[in-house]
Structure 1
């Protein structure tokens, strides 16, 4: 059974912001002649790597709600130039929208069991994304999204 991570998406106000950032970074890497892959750098290295890379995902908390996820492809530990252990969470650059799930702020990342993870919106994603972000936020706060 796969295991997931959950993390705050700092600096993004919406799923669209996250998608734009991903596209921008991938284009930068292509222009620099680097592999066009997306990763997120973290300070702590997960210990349950095989469970995470067995169909696990990184669930993003945006504005107090889990709103989307990206599949975890690989976890690459490394030591930075200051001698600090870190890792790259290599992610599939496709963002899957999920049912909104409220989350309080926390630092770093946390493990998220599959049974506690919000379901994908699937076919409903298009309808939800056509709503203005403020309306989506209000509906989520009321437990209607």
Structure 2
């Protein structure tokens, strides 16, 4: 089983916000003639990258709950304008809705073992996103989802 990563999705209110943000960035790249790839830059290159690249995903924590995941395609070392080496995580721009799992805030990213990862929601992304985020949050808090 592949190893996964988990990260807070800061500044995003819902999966819909994340999807819109990603689509905007992909379109900006296309318009500028750059490769249309979704990526996220972080400070630390994972030491267990090979285990993650064997089919792992990045699970996003949005407003205190894991809600969605994206498959990780590759890791690339990059150097910031400040000269510091960083890691570029290239993601498949496809969102898979997951069961909501509460998570406390943390810094950076963490490894997520397969047995601790929330399951994908049956019916795929569209079925899961049919409910508004605020309603899913309330139903999850009540233990009904």
After TM superposition, what 4+ stretches of structure 1 lie above 2 angstroms from structure 2?
A: 124-128
Q: 1:88-99 alignment to 2 at 5 Å?
A: 88-99=88-99
* 1:67 Cα deviation from its structure 2 partner: 0.1
Equivalent residue number for residue 109 of structure 1: 109
Structure 2 match to 1:122:
122
- RMSD across aligned C-alpha pairs, in angstroms? 1.1
Question: Structure 1 residues 125, 44: closer, same or farther in 2, change over 3 A?
Answer: same
Question: What's the secondary structure of 1:39's corresponding residue?
Answer: strand
Q: TM-score, normalised to structure 1's length?
A: 0.95
**Which one is further off, 77-86 or 51-60?**
77-86
Q: CA deviation at 1:128?
A: 3.1
2:136 aligned counterpart, secondary structure? helix
Unpaired runs of at least 5, structure 1? none
TM-score (norm 2): 0.95
For structure 2, which runs of at least 5 residues remain unmatched after alignment? none
Give the corresponding residue for 1:48: 48
Quote how far apart the aligned CAs of 1:124 are: 5.7
Give the secondary structure class of the aligned counterpart of 1:130. coil
8 Å Cα contact 2:7-2:58 kept in structure 1: yes
Q: Number of aligned pairs?
A: 145
The structural deviation recorded for 1:80 is 1.6
Partner of 1:65: 65
Q: Is the 8 A contact 2:95 2:125 kept in 1?
A: no
1:100 maps to what in 2?
A: 100
